[in-house]
A and B are shown apart, each in its own frame.
Chain A
């Protein structure tokens, strides 16, 4: 998680979902991705007791 390159990720993810990101917005989008990556790293690195399934609202779907 420490080597996250927001521009490289932006290009790969944008291609994966077919979402062109104009050059004028690349820096802003990358800055948002970097900020959210830092938050994700903080959450993912936190040790949780297993098992814990995603807490989707409305109750877990047994399917």
Chain B
């Protein structure tokens, strides 16, 4: 079997193989569809698979390549998108039964068009909490998405399908949406990379509902290189045109790195504490700085996001309340009743806070913070226990992602794999439009994303199965698959 057809193939490897003609886009797609058939009954990452559309796209790509037309930097790379993003021919559900009877989207969202313009092949829609309101991807209409590392546990949310599909090796890259951490949080619990780009650089055209002033679309992948390839394609031309992928090999030398103390050093369980220490040691970070007013920043971001989440839902709340997911129904009712003064004060605070954060980022190039306070909790957990206290699951999982949400700055979850343990991620945070810095950070002398580690790979153990749907659970496999190689411990 060609390497490009394997579950552990990176987007970069798939694209290189399709560009060279070593494999066809059609062969890559058919291998992907087989993985979906084998693994998704266990993982439940997909809400819809657009096989016919994807086959037509792949066939067109193969025909173009045979005709001598360069197929693009993401040639033949299969991808899926969070179910809030329009895919022409599919109904955009937002993870909700309320949209079950809607007509199919007439055209693709801009983000889908941009990835396909770069040669990628959209293969379907991915599960989420209803309208993105949650952190566990437990969904009454589509069922719960399961964590590939342990299917009894949550994949996180709200872009849980996007993270799980990547972690399971079903897809090399996906798109999610991040308002209060909905990319970064599931990326942490599933052990993959997840980028919340600088807000405003990725188009929001073709997304279900109001986009608000907090959220943005971003990529999830198994390597920094694949994140960079997607980001470059998503940003397209114009003001945001970039070639982030060209700067990856510059590494972190010369960057001013620091870890966040105070709020971000408290409320972690043993797994998260170990992960922070591991990452800081691997990056040789000794500086510790205070992130300004993190608790109030979290409160302000939540007030803004919750207020905006109810826009456009008043009629549905009046006419079809029982059509809402039981896990979101009372929340959207409350959000529709919030006073304007709370929202306006939160926006006012947000403006001040962003200025303070930008002042901090004049002294620090990349800030290291925890992504989640714990590893993935069991599905159905209403509380999680941290520091001897039982805390509500959803808000607590977002404890470290939400204070960053109001700033419009980019943040990247980087996976940390520890042999024999569930994965957990760290966040890297930088000034607006400096995603390149986030993607350059790796230990000095360490392995680089996109390059297989030295030593004999255990390929037989890489291929996922319904019994073992994640191939990144062992260190040797992780090293070969380039998942978590940035901070993984030696076996």
**Chain A residues near B (Cβ < 8 Å):** 9-10, 13-14, 17-22, 25, 28-29, 31-33, 36-37, 39-40, 42-44, 46, 48-49, 52-58
Contacts and interface: CB of A to CB of B under 8 A. Distances in A.
A18 B318 contact: yes
Given A13-B339, A25-B329, A40-B342, A55 B348 contact: yes
18 contacts: A10-B337, A17-B336, A17-B337, A18-B318, A25-B333, A28-B334, A32-B335, A36-B338, A39-B303, A43-B342, A48-B349, A49-B352, A52-B348, A52-B352, A54-B347, A55-B348, A57-B199, A57-B408
Contacts of B337: 9-10, 13-14, 17, 19, 29, 33
Nearest to B329: A25
B354 A43 contact: no
A9 B336 CA distance: 12
Query: Which are the 4 A-B pairs with shortest beta-carbon distances?
Result: A55-B351, A28-B330, A32-B334, A39-B299
A57 B354 CA distance: 12
A36 to B, nearest CB: 6
Interface of B: 199-200, 212-213, 293, 295-296, 299-300, 302-303, 306, 314, 317-318, 321, 329-331, 333-339, 341-342, 344-352, 354, 408
Contact of A40 (B199, B293, B345): B345
Contacts, number: 100
Given A32-B330, A36-B303, A54-B347, A42 B314 contact: no
Given A33-B338, A42-B296, A49-B352, 9 more contacts: A17-B337, A25-B330, A29-B330, A29-B334, A32-B331, A36-B303, A46-B293, A57-B199, A58-B213
A19 B351 contact: no
A55 B347 contact: yes
Contact of A19 (B302, B318, B331): B318
Nearest to B339: A13
B302 A36 contact: yes
